[in-house]
Amino acid sequence: MEKMVRLCISLPEALLEELDKRVISKGYASRSELVRDLIRDLLAQESWEEDKEVLAVLSLIYDHHDKELVYRLLDLQHRHHLSVLSSTHLHLDHHHCLEVLILRGRAQELESLSTSIAGLRGIKLSKLSRLALPEL
């Protein structure tokens, strides 16, 4: 477990009230937990802006009856096999599938791959969740 360091910050009262509302509405155990998450999110965003090696999760919903789409989706994944660590495929109903891709690579590379996939005709929903690669 990492050593914790205590720090003190000053906030305007209104900002503190907003912070406390979010602690409660998001179910955080404390203000510290929320602030740690906000800092981690900021650091992850900076990793993407600096085109560092990052992680991402790309979630897709599409109609699996469009065979051309399925082939194009598989072709893109194979062409980027070094970036696609894993994929999971779920059948939502008779027509729709949810595909989740776990990606790792340079930020711009993953952005480009995500855009290419999202732009395929037949993709109904595409969501890229950006993550930082933790220090190991």
Tokens 């993407």 found at: 48
Q: 62 is in which domain, residue-wise?
A: 53-132
108 and 67 in a single domain? The answer is yes
In a domain, 3, yes or no: no
Q: Which residues pair with 128 in a beta bridge?
A: 58
Give the pLDDT score at 43.
87
114 and 65 in a single domain? The answer is yes
Q: Kindly provide the b/e burial profile for residues 51-71, where b requires at least 16 CB atoms within 10 angstroms of the residue's own CB.
A: eeebbbebebebebebeebbe
Direct distance between the N- and C-terminal alpha carbons of the chain, in angstroms, rounded to an integer: 14
63 and 33 in a single domain? The answer is no
In a domain, 23, yes or no: yes
Q: With the C-alpha atoms ordered 125, 23, 30, 11, is the resulting torsion angle positive or negative?
A: positive
In a domain, 38, yes or no: yes
Give the mean pLDDT of the chain: 93
CATH of the domain at 107: 3.30.70.1150
40 and 63 in a single domain? The answer is no
Q: How many domains does the chain have?
A: 2
Q: What average pLDDT score do residues 61-69 get?
A: 92
Q: What average pLDDT score do residues 90-113 get?
A: 96
Q: What average pLDDT score do residues 119-131 get?
A: 95
What's this model's pTM, rounded to 2 decimal places? 0.80
80 and 103 in a single domain? The answer is yes
Residue 77 amino acid letter: Q
- Examine the pLDDT at 136 and tell me if it is beyond 60: no
| Cα–Cα distance measured from residue 107 to residue 130, given in angstroms and rounded to the nearest whole number | 9
Q: What average pLDDT score do residues 33-42 get?
A: 91
73 and 43 in a single domain? The answer is no
Q: Which of the two residues, 47 and 79, has the higher pLDDT score?
A: 79
- Examine the pLDDT at 20 and tell me if it is beyond 70: yes
Rounded to whole angstroms, what are the CA distances from 8 to 11, 22, 37? 10, 19, 17
> Pairing state of beta strands 123-132 and 53-63?
antiparallel
